[in-house]
Chain A
Amino acid sequence: MVQEVERYKKPVRILHWVHAGAFTVLFLTGLVLFIPALGFLAQDSWTRIIHRVAAAVFIIAPLIYLPLDWKSSWKGIKEAFNWGMDDVGWLKAAPAYYFLADEEAMPPQDHMNTGQKMWWLMVIIFGVVFVITGIIMWVFKTVAPAALLQWMVLFHDIAFIATGVMFFVHIYLSVIHPLMRPTKTGAWSSMARGKVSAEYAKSHHAKWYARIAKGEEKKS
């Protein structure tokens, strides 16, 4: 049997998939207002109702998770803001790696690599932007000044474009990119089953692996 290490505990994985599901629904029901050719799908407001149901899930899911485990939530959030020189190195080495499968120049990575961290940071920041602008357009639609509502759509759209584009990149790099296959050892496995092979952890997340190997840190 391949030796495996735990990467994401079950509650984190449930949160990830619930949030990913809500995001996908929000993305699609928002897209119909963004692309004029798809606008006919939004006719009679029914996508708006779905957008709101999914928005409720999008907002409530993290609020349920946070108090369940303040400590690892806090640790996870801090991770998104923890940037260093190895991240610069990663960004420089990434094109050769992702295009030419050249691992040479990749600096050792921590629990999350720079790309994952970038996405995670965007999820936090734009998640907040989505929620604030979305709630204003939803709840205060009839009372807020028209000018405010117009700016809210604009910022909602900026968040949509930024996260929408990265959403594709995220899915692509987790399950479609040739180097991520077969999917049973790496990123997909970490979110689907919570575990990755020790081999994968060592080669892709050397700093993190060094810590778990010493027993300093078990899970996150």
Chain B
Amino acid sequence: MAEKAILYDSSKCTACRGCQVACKQWNMNDEAIPTIENGVDSRNWGSYENPRDLSPATWLKMRFTEYEGGGKLQWLFTRQACMHCTDAACVRVCPNGSLYHNEATGFVEYNKDTCTGCGYCVDACPFSIPRSDRNLVFGNAKMDKCTLCTTQGLNRLDAGMEPACVKTCPPNALIYGDRADMITAGKARVSALRANGSPDAVLYGESELDGLHVMYVLEHSPEVYNLPVNPKVSAASIAWKDVIQPIGWILGGLTILGLGINFIIARKAKMNREQPVKKEEEK
């Protein structure tokens, strides 16, 4: 299988949130509101954006942005869900490889059974995507995020289907296929938008973090949509994982080796010094 990707076209999106629903339905992520019996976790907070944030059971939500530009008010939509980065911060910081890349598709999958609940990915993700319910006293937790429909037992891709969100999208704002084809399609759409009154249109994700596997066609600069213009793995993550930890492994190894060598040399030295004494005792 070639490297795959989702292409989301913000200019075609109607924010019907069908993808949000399809995602929950396929992945069995029901979410009940504690205050209303059998209710869903959605309540009016003055915006169509609902629920307010991602959660362990909400892997995808539409984000609504009101934007004033060129003398008119625009209502802009984007997805908020895992971008399936090539240089994925979450994969870098995961202590035991519970988060990993699918070698074929390039998607970032995870094994929830082996997740330790450290929450490092939650803090490291440049898009602030992973979520976990955490017991604050004992710290036990499990991370969740978009699996791109590769959830164990519910794997649509292996079954030859497209992701649930893509399948459901009425205006075809979401399409899925080989990443190279998605880039071509995205670029063509950006050119068309630029020629038709959106000079700032961009394809987001072609080269960010060595290439995202979820790319966006945007009519404005990414920051208008609350997206990082230049997403990066944080300096703290790199200093920690690529400098401090390797130093730790080396120092630890050298110490044990050094103490072993010291033991052998010192024991001999001590025996050499004690020998004359022993001989005298024998007399």
Q: Across the interface, name the chain B residue whose C-beta is closest to A164.
A: B252
B240: chain A residues within 8 A (beta carbon) = 150, 153-154, 157
A99: chain B residues within 8 A (beta carbon) = 262, 265-266, 269
Q: Across the interface, name the chain B residue whose C-beta is closest to A151.
A: B236
Q: How far is the CA of A108 from the CA of B255 in the complex (A)?
A: 27
Known: A141-B139, A147-B234, A161-B248. 13 other contacts (CB 8 A): A33-B95, A42-B96, A45-B117, A45-B142, A48-B139, A49-B140, A139-B136, A141-B119, A150-B236, A161-B247, A168-B259, A178-B266, A179-B270
In this assembly, does A124 line the interface, its C-beta being within 8 Å of a C-beta of chain B? no
Q: Is the CB of B244 within 8 A of A158?
A: yes
Given A150-B123, A154-B244, does the pair A178, B267 have CB atoms closer than 8 Å?
yes
What residues make up the interface of B, taking CB atoms closer than 8 Å to A? Answer: 95-98, 113-120, 122-124, 128, 134, 136-142, 234, 236-237, 239-240, 244-245, 247-249, 251-252, 255-256, 259, 262-263, 265-267, 269-270, 272-273
Given A149-B123, A150-B237, A164-B252, does the pair A44, B140 have CB atoms closer than 8 Å?
yes
Q: When A and B form their complex, which 4 residue pairs have the shortest distance between CB atoms, in order from nearest?
A: A39-B96, A45-B140, A150-B236, A42-B116
Q: Is the CB of B244 within 8 A of A49?
A: no
Tell me the smallest distance from the CB of A7 to a CB of chain B, in Å: 23
22 contacts between A and B (CB under 8 A): A33-B96, A34-B95, A34-B245, A43-B96, A43-B114, A45-B117, A48-B116, A48-B117, A48-B118, A52-B137, A52-B138, A146-B124, A147-B236, A150-B123, A150-B240, A153-B120, A157-B244, A161-B248, A164-B252, A168-B255, A178-B263, A179-B270
Among A40, A49, A151, point to the contact of B139 (Cβ < 8 A). Answer: A49
In this assembly, does A63 line the interface, its C-beta being within 8 Å of a C-beta of chain B? no
A138: chain B residues within 8 A (beta carbon) = 139
Given A99-B265, A168-B259, does the pair A160, B116 have CB atoms closer than 8 Å?
no
